[in-house]
Every structure is written in structure tokens, then in C-alpha cells.
Amino acid sequence: MRPFQKLLEHPAYWSLNRRNVTRAVALGMFIAFIPLPIHVVGAAAGALLLRINVPVTIATVFVNNPLTMVPLFYFAYWLGAHLLGTPLHNFDIEMSWQWLQTGLLPIWQPFLLGCFVLSVGSAALTYVLLGGIWHLTLVLKYHERKRGGTDKKSANTEK
């Protein structure tokens, strides 16, 4: 870790502001649906390149974890098949080179398209929703503080 110490000391990698966190969550959601086992490495590298919060990005990729992977990837396949207008194929996954050569052939295009659509869609949706919710809470806190400030002034003038 010593060679990266100077790099990781940059405050943007640890900052918890609205801009930084919303971008980190969006990047994490985008990477979460990539069907390769590089989520954590990809999240860390992407966060470093974009100078956004590294821990938030890495934590977000775990939306797709061993418990959720099968239903999410099946949904990606289903979505891709519907977008391409291809029929769904029944398949059994085997961890063998032969299955990769023959069993993956009819499903790889809809699967990858579905993963791409889920990546882009979930990243955009979480960016907009999280940014909007964060902004709304700031506005509400501002108005609450503003109202609280006027109440204190009127209470002080009555004394």
C-alpha cells in the first residue's frame, strides 16, 4: 500500500458531499451489473480515475452479490431477450469449457445487452434519485433552520 499512499491521501477519495457520493453510487451501480468478476477492482480503479469516493463506490458494487446475482443476471437475460425480440432459451449452466463454447452461444447477446441496459439504467436512476433526495433534504433543512431562526427572533423581541 505504501506506493499508493500519496495517491490515496487525496481528499476527494474520502469526501462525503452530494456531488462525490452521488457519482460514486452511480459508478458502483454501473459496475455492479458487468458480468465479470472484477467488480471491486473496477470500482476502485474507476473511483480513483474519476476522483470520487472510493469506499462508497466499492460498497455499492455489492448490490450484486452471491445472493442476488442469479436473479439479477436472469433478469438481465430476460430483458435483453425481450429487447432483441428473441425467445428465451432453457439452459443449465455448467462450469466447463464445452458449455462456454456451446451453451453460452444462444444466450450471450441478450444477456450482455440486458447487463448493459441494467448498468446504464441503474446508474442513471440512482444518480438522479440520490441527487434529488439529497437536494430535497438540504432544502428542507434550510427552510426548517430559517423558520427556527425567525421563531427565535420573535421570542427574543417579545421579552
pLDDT in tens, 51-70: 899 999 999 999 999 899 98
Q: What is the C-alpha separation between 90 and 95, in angstroms, rounded? A: 17
> Which residues, 6 or more positions from 68, have their beta carbon under 8 angstroms from its beta carbon?
none
Q: pTM of the prediction?
A: 0.79
pLDDT at 111: 93
Residue entry with cell 445472493:
67
C-alpha of 54 from chain center: 12
What the block records as the C-alpha cell of 115 is 447487463
Q: Contact at 8 Å (CB) between 10 and 48?
A: no
H or E element at residue 69: helix 69-84
pLDDT at 8 over 70: no
C-alpha of 118 from chain center: 10
